[in-house]
Amino acid sequence: MLRSRFIVDSGTQLCCLIGDPVAQSPSPGMHNSTFRSAGLNFIYLSFRVPAAELEAAVNGLRAIGVRGFNVTIPHKAAVTKLVDTLDSISSDLGAVNTVVNDDGKLFGVNTDIEGFITPLKDKEIHLMHRRSMILGAGGAARACIAGLVHEGCTEFVILNRTNERASRMVSDFKQKFDFEAEVAPLNEENIARSIGSVDLVVNATPIGMYPNVSESPIPKNLLREEQVIYDIVYKPVKTKLIEYAETVGATVIHGYEMLVSQAAGSFSLWTGVEAHKGVMRRTVLQLLGV
């Protein structure tokens, strides 16, 4: 039955976000507006959980019977050890951003991967046998690479501030996935050397993120119309990199599009109902001040 107004009662199902920090997250706004628009008796809260309290928090969420939760920095890897089962791609990736609680059994999933890929598919960007440049080698870069490999992208140039971290990620992934990767330090010289040979560039570093909004990981003179530039930073909505890419006529994908798609994946796992992405998108843009 559709609920015409929002009342929290004993039947309300709880979903939440755990991480540290969580104060700036748009997830509560996105999920609550979408629960309301779907007439679902669900509520979404966020909880700051320090690393030392993670196990107690996960056990507590299981004990009180939450329907599910999202996991953010710095717990995405650690939570894989605290759930009962994982889907195969989360297991390969070693990171979870969504947990579903089915009668006390915790199932870990990674909707960041689908969340990253969906905006590319929405723009009909074909990834099979493409060559991609990934800036960064953290948790988000791992999800992006796993998604791209899954879609048939076989060649990567991976540039990271700490070269050893990127090399470690590649040797780890090579045991699970079939792909080729060149790894080098993230600097202008290495970007200039490789950017002409790639179809897709993904910024999976926080360069350009609020408050450092005047920074771009790539200078404007290296961008071209035929490139696809995907900046997963979502605050601000129009990063300096996106602004430069638009100026040269490149195809751009904004970070908020990934944010909405990963949230839609979590929403449908918890509720069994497809999320209204238009409501999520409107809410997130409002929260990000657009």
Ligand X SMILES: NC(=O)c1ccc[n+]([C@@H]2O[C@H](COP(=O)([O-])OP(=O)(O)OC[C@H]3O[C@@H](n4cnc5c(N)ncnc54)[C@H](OP(=O)(O)O)[C@@H]3O)[C@@H](O)[C@H]2O)c1
- Verify binding: residue 79, ligand X, rule CB under 6 A: no
* DSSP notation for 13-59: EEEEEEESS-TT-SHHHHHHHHHHHHT--EEEEEEE--GGGHHHHHH
Q: In this structure, what DSSP letter does residue 7 have?
A: -
**Cβ pair 133, 194 in contact under 8 A:** yes
Q: Residue 50, preceding bond cis, omega within 30 degrees?
A: no
Q: Which is nearer to ligand X, 108 or 255 (CB)?
A: 255
Between 207 and 226, how does the x/- string for binding to ligand X read (CB under 6 A)?
x-x-----------------
**Cβ pair 251, 226 in contact under 8 A:** no
- Verify binding: residue 160, ligand X, rule CB under 6 A: yes
- Verify binding: residue 54, ligand X, rule CB under 6 A: no
Residue from the set 59, 85, 162, 171 that interacts with ligand X by CB under 6 A:
162
Q: Which residue type sits at 158?
A: I
Q: Could you give the CA distance from residue 245 to residue 276 in angstroms, rounded to a whole number?
A: 29
Residue from the set 146, 186, 198, 201 that interacts with ligand X by CB under 6 A:
186
- Verify binding: residue 138, ligand X, rule CB under 6 A: yes
| Nearest approach, Cβ of residue 255 and ligand X (Å) | 4
SS3 78: helix
User: Near ligand X by CB under 6 A, which window of 63-71, 131-139, 244-252, 266-274?
Assistant: 131-139
| Cα 256 to the center of its chain, rounded Å | 9
Q: Could you give the CA distance from residue 135 to residue 205 in angstroms, rounded to a whole number?
A: 6
**Cβ pair 175, 200 in contact under 8 A:** no
| Nearest approach, Cβ of residue 135 and ligand X (Å) | 7
Residue from the set 49, 96, 140, 200 that interacts with ligand X by CB under 6 A:
140
Q: Which is nearer to ligand X, 118 or 262 (CB)?
A: 262
- Pick the closest to residue 135 from 198, 87, 60, 64 (CA basis): 198
Q: Could you give the CA distance from residue 170 to residue 147 in angstroms, rounded to a whole number?
A: 14
Q: Could you give the CA distance from residue 34 to residue 182 in angstroms, rounded to a whole number?
A: 41
- Verify binding: residue 58, ligand X, rule CB under 6 A: no
Q: Which is nearer to ligand X, 18 or 207 (CB)?
A: 207
Q: Which is nearer to ligand X, 162 or 221 (CB)?
A: 162
- Verify binding: residue 43, ligand X, rule CB under 6 A: no
The yes-or-no answer on residue 277 being catalytic is no
| Nearest approach, Cβ of residue 8 and ligand X (Å) | 28
Q: Could you list the active site residues?
A: 76
Task: List interacting residues with ligand X (CB under 6 A).
Answer: 73, 112, 115, 136-141, 160-162, 165, 186, 204-207, 209, 232-234, 255, 258-259, 262
